[in-house]
Amino acid sequence: LNKTLVFGVVTETLGKKKVSFVQIPSNLPRFYSIEVGNLSRLLPIEEIIRWKIADLFRNVHIVSTSLFRIIRNGDFEEVDVEDLDKNFVEEIKKKLKKRLTGRVVRLDIEGSYSEYLLKWLKKSFLLEDNNIFILNNLLDMTCLWQLVNNPIFSDQRVTPMPCVMPVSYPVHDKTKIFDTLKQQDILMHHPYNSIEIMLDLLEQAAEDNDVLAIKITIYRLAKKSRIVDALEKAALKGKHVSVLFEVKARFDEERNLENAQRLQKAGAFVVYGVAMLKTHCKLLMVVRKEDKNTVRYVHLSSGNYNEDTSKIYSDIGLLTTDETIANDVNELFNVITGNSKPYQYSRLLTAPVQMKNGLLELIRKEAKNAKKGIPSRIVIKVNSLQDKDFIDELYKASNAGVRITLIVRGICCLRPGREGLSENISVISIVGDFLEHTRIYYFHNAGEPLVYSGSADIMVRSFERRIECLFLIANPMLKQEAINILACNIKDNMNSYFVLENGNYVKETLNGEKPFSIHEHFFQVTPEEVANASLMVL
């Protein structure tokens, strides 16, 4: 009974009560259409079953019928074994089976519940009151996807905006992707820019006879992954394909194991993660022989190699042949797929070794500049902000006079706007059509801005228990693109929520201003806008 809808039926016979369960089949549609005149009504399957449930309990008095579902703990302890190729995989498989019977961490039950049933469930599953949620609407809202795809609503679906080309790369010819990247770097901003450019690089690499090797880290994949198809093709053609699959990616463990074993059969060199750490960084390197030289084509990203989520998550991806970055990425691959020791990188900040200290030092530098009267500014866009040391350093920078803007979609443990603590800090959260997944770190650096992007949020787990990577955007034009992304986030007044000093969120109001939504604007960014973008005036 995990994440499935169940009726708890309390019956009574000769003064004794009994609890029985009727599970709603998960392989049936959640909604059924009923025609009433010219209207179509959608009826949830649970109401149909409730209507006829007495037929299952003939000659028995039914006291109550209550719908509920339990959710079991999806986490499991890290696997620590010496043989990462064999024992590690077997241990993961065992733990996936245990997840089906894990500890119950949540109970959802409908508003018209039976007190007797609730007491029985609390005792049976050892539940505390704060783990029980009484709901007066549909249980398990994932069913709403069935409504979205229902033909009844076909004329009400929003047609997605067509993707546009990156500002730095207005015309794309996939047959010339190698030539293009030797001449320029490309910054992609998804979902406004399609992931197709990166896919073209990988698929061309799988076919190209001059490509010697492909290396990649994988955390979450699409259900039908063109990335795995391309890697398999490359391996079957005899290229050296090296893949790190993070088989501890929560709820994607089984899919990652299956794809890893598929690529292993094709001849790829597969690493099943790193013991005691999650590999969360997103790295791709294509090694190609060109004349007497070897050129390395690199892709770094804040988002997963997932064609499905790239259409609805906002992320940044960098394509480059820059030798400094290529050297860094090559060394990082050696660390996570081999036995190399952590390396002092030129353009990367990596966890768990030097990322946290590197970022804290950049904050301190802004604080020192502010005290000297040098213009200073920090703007950070992340999913979550939770690390106490980082928060304390931001408070110190605020008190030093640094103006700080934090764009944090999810959990934020910092309190902005408090007198004597965080007066110079503002926090906004943007929630709209697309899930904000981009991470960008901006430090004004006395007029020579340093801008990083990558996979890491400001969390203890990111700094200490994950292999993460932030990459420096050094190319001046691409740096301006990243700065413009942050500037537009700050200007958004349609999807923004302000965080108050007490931690509450308040929706931004227009107050006569012209509506501005990043989820529309990023489809029409111009080179002139990018060139003039600045965070010092916002």
Catalytic residues: 280
As given in the structure block, the two tokens for residue 523 are 């489809």
**What are the backbone dihedrals phi and psi of residue 345, each rounded to the nearest 5 degrees, phi first?**
-85, 155
Looking up tokens 């033909």 gives 151
- Residue of 457, 493, 377, 484 whose CA lies nearest to 425: 377
Alpha helix locations (H) across 216-350?
226-236, 253-266, 323-337
- Residue of 186, 507, 486, 463 whose CA lies nearest to 314: 486
Q: Give Cα separations from 112 to 5, 51, 136 (angstroms).
A: 15, 15, 8
Looking up tokens 């009504």 gives 41
CA 259, CA 257: separation in Å to the nearest integer? 6
As given in the structure block, the two tokens for residue 350 are 């990596």
Pairing relation of β-strands 496-499 and 425-430? antiparallel
- Residue of 400, 416, 417 whose CA lies nearest to 408: 416
Count of Cβ atoms closer than 10 Å to residue 475 Cβ: 18
Count, residues in the chain: 538
CA 40, CA 153: separation in Å to the nearest integer? 11
Max CA pair span of the chain? 91
